[in-house]
Amino acid sequence: MDKKVIYSAVQPSGNLTIGNYLGAIRNWVKLQNEYDCFYAIANMHAITVKQEPAELRRRTLELAALYIACGIDPEKSALYVQSHVPQHAELCWVLNSVAYVGEMSRMTQFKDKSQKHAENINMGLMDYPVLMAADILLYQAQCVPVGADQKQHVEIARDLAIRFNNRYGETFTVPEPLILKGGAKICSLQEPTKKMSKSDENPNASIFLTDDRDTVIRKFKRAVTDSGSEIVASDEKPGVTNLLNIYCAFKNCTLQEAEREFEGKGYGEFKLAVGETVADALSPIQEEQAKLLADKNYLGEILKSGADRAYRAARRTLSKVYRKIGFYQGE
């Protein structure tokens, strides 16, 4: 029986946080044993906001090395750079003909990014969800692993697939969001009611996967806690709850077990323990990433192999699409 197909991608813009790791990449590692996975480095999406070209190239390789260091196996999963598979852009253009301006302008991400980048409200920002739909539909993905806050983009992919299928006949698999269970939302260390973000202006708010041990521990020592001294998870203690969630995620223990472990201990000792636990977990990932980045030829071969595999699957879908819409493709 064929495995179901999963598609997911991360932009090579900004450093990834432990929230990205726990919420996405660590789950991808588990999924590759059960699904046929296509994991992309979404450099085409990244240029909807201004990028420094040399930095974008560097971060693309760094992200590829990070994927592998975190456990993505290139033998099991197609790991590739989005722009290496031209069908992404080609299918995006076709889907533009069934996407409506009104639905694109209502997308939450378009509104948010338009406010943050008011000097650069480009068509790419608005068209971002159509390209994302093309990413997913190109591989006939049945499942798209997303956080609950990203379901809107999968809904657009579903809408465009259904609209195209109704107009031209059955062509695309209609994807389902795969909401990954068991992962608590990882929040900012400085504003624990807000999600941890790689674009946060406060450098102490986020733990990046590239942060060295001293930086990780220092940031946790500065993390916001709450009034009182009890180390328990509750709505009234968002700071402590966030730190407990992070600790449990890296220790693979329950909140109840963590609360018992820190019963009677002070915030200082608690925050140091969380920092050391996270630093211990990140250290082998960072070492493996550095080793991979030292061999650019090997990384390049992996990305080429992944792009070749993705290209074959993408070409099949695009040929079918072109036939359905009436594009002449020769004999």
Residues 251 and 186: beta-carbon distance below 8 Å? no
Counts of helices then strands in the chain (DSSP H, E): 14, 5
CA 87 to chain centre: 21
Q: Which helix (H) or strand (E) holds 251?
A: helix 238-251
> At which residue do the structure tokens 């809904």 appear?
155
Residues 206 and 196: beta-carbon distance below 8 Å? yes
Q: E strands within 147-208? A: 176-179
**Catalytic residue list contains 198:** yes
d(CA 179, CA 145): 6
Options 113, 219, 237, 271, the catalytic residue: 113
Options 185, 194, 198, 320, the catalytic residue: 198
DSSP 8-state secondary structure symbol assigned to residue 25: I
Residues 19 and 192: beta-carbon distance below 8 Å? no
**Catalytic residue list contains 3:** no
Contacts of 273 (CB under 8 A, 6+ apart): 247, 262
d(CA 78, CA 72): 9
Q: Positive or negative, the Cα torsion across 205, 208, 210, 212?
A: positive
Contacts of 130 (CB under 8 A, 6+ apart): 92, 95, 96, 99, 104, 156, 160
Residues 77 and 160: beta-carbon distance below 8 Å? no
Edge-to-edge strand list for the sheet holding 176-179: 78-81, 36-41, 5-10, 143-146, 176-179
Options 4, 76, 194, 195, the catalytic residue: 195
User: Which amino acids are annotated catalytic?
Assistant: 113, 195, 198
